[in-house]
Amino acid sequence: MLDSFFGLFSHDLAIDLGTANTLVLVRGKGIVIREPSCVARQKKTKRILAIGTEAKKMLGKTPGTIEAFRPMRDGVIADFDAVEAMLTFYIKKVHESPGKFSWIPQVPRPRVVIGIPSGVTEVERRAVQEAALAAGARQAYLIEEPMAAAIGAGLPIENPGGSLICDIGGGTTEIAVISLGGIVVSKCLRIAGDEMDETIVSFCRLKYSLLIGEVTAEEVKIQIGSAFSQTNQHEKGDEQTVIRGRDLETGLPKSVKLNGSEIREALSPVLNQITDAISEVVEETPPELVGDLMERGLCLAGGGALLSGIDRLISQETKMPVWRAEDPQTAVVKGCGKVLDNESLLEKVRVTGGLR
């Protein structure tokens, strides 16, 4: 009875609570929020000053009284209070627009489906669920990110044939073989976009004695980063960019020109670990499903799938066809949204054993 009452005033939500970005999808409306997973707050009082894009602008630039940080690390909650504040902010933001009951003071109590990494512990699962419930959700369901990404990418997950998905996010890389609505083999690497940024920071420090921040490193990766040596001069590979940082020898500002081949060299250790993990998952896959994987290929999702040439690199290393999902960054939240519309599928794929 209460569920149907609150349902009149609340939108059902799908949330991709990512290490780098948080996406919120409203049932029947599509994606309404796409913001960085960043929070800025006062150190002493813990008062929240900014969330999302505004908080990301403060990263690495705050005075001693303010801290700007990402409350999610490696796909799990690193700061419970900050995640709760972030979820509360987004849930309220979604329900701000006036609707047919705008004359009644709204207390949003939505049903929420959240994507979580497949390799998290029971404690980490409960933390995500408790944060959602504390933020105002009346029900919080969890589904594993590779399953959500596969549903969002349109893979036939309920068919007897196998589907291979690789979701490269900010904190984790999820690789899974899915068949008959369940995960047959999976691997969760806590190596992804953040580690790519860190390798660029290390590369600049070792080669040029230049200290740069992770925000700068991320911009370099997006601008000229690539995973595969390109032959077409119009593609990324020989592009150049100028970065500015602090000279470690003199302590003074310094500018350095980087090119695409240097960034590719810096990223190669992380990319090799991802391709090795994909090969391991294929090795553990039952022989009957390997034929399906060869036929359907590997589907890439997540922000890391946007790295230029990563599909060619993985295809070369695994000897399999590789393709990107349409809009890879939104695959997980779209999958969570599709599950909201299908109660039987939700019961089949949701992670059990947590709070309800």
Structural fold of domain 2-147+332-349: Nucleotidyltransferase; domain 5 (3.30.420)
What proportion of the chain, given as a percentage, has pLDDT over 70?
90
What would the pLDDT profile of 186-198 be if each residue is shown by its tens digit?
Answer: 999 999 999 999 9
For the segment 237-262, the average pLDDT, to the nearest whole number, is 90
Looking at the predicted structure, is the pLDDT value of residue 331 above 80?
yes
For the segment 106-130, the average pLDDT, to the nearest whole number, is 86
pLDDT at 104: 41
| CA nearest neighbour of 168 among 18, 283, 42, 35 | 18
For the segment 214-221, the average pLDDT, to the nearest whole number, is 93
pLDDT at 353: 56
What proportion of the chain, given as a percentage, has pLDDT over 90?
68
What would the pLDDT profile of 112-122 be if each residue is shown by its tens digit?
Answer: 999 999 888 89
pLDDT at 40: 95
Alpha helices in 100-256 (DSSP H): 122-134, 145-152, 193-208, 214-224
pLDDT at 93: 87
For the segment 79-104, the average pLDDT, to the nearest whole number, is 76
Class of CATH domain 155-324: alpha beta
Where exactly does CATH 3.30.420.40 map onto the chain?
A: 2-147+332-349, 155-324
* pTM as predicted: 0.88
For the segment 311-336, the average pLDDT, to the nearest whole number, is 93
pLDDT at 230: 66
Looking at the predicted structure, is the pLDDT value of residue 176 above 60?
yes
Looking at the predicted structure, is the pLDDT value of residue 105 above 60?
no
Beta carbons of 277 and 187 less than 8 angstroms apart: yes
CA distance 25 to 323: 24
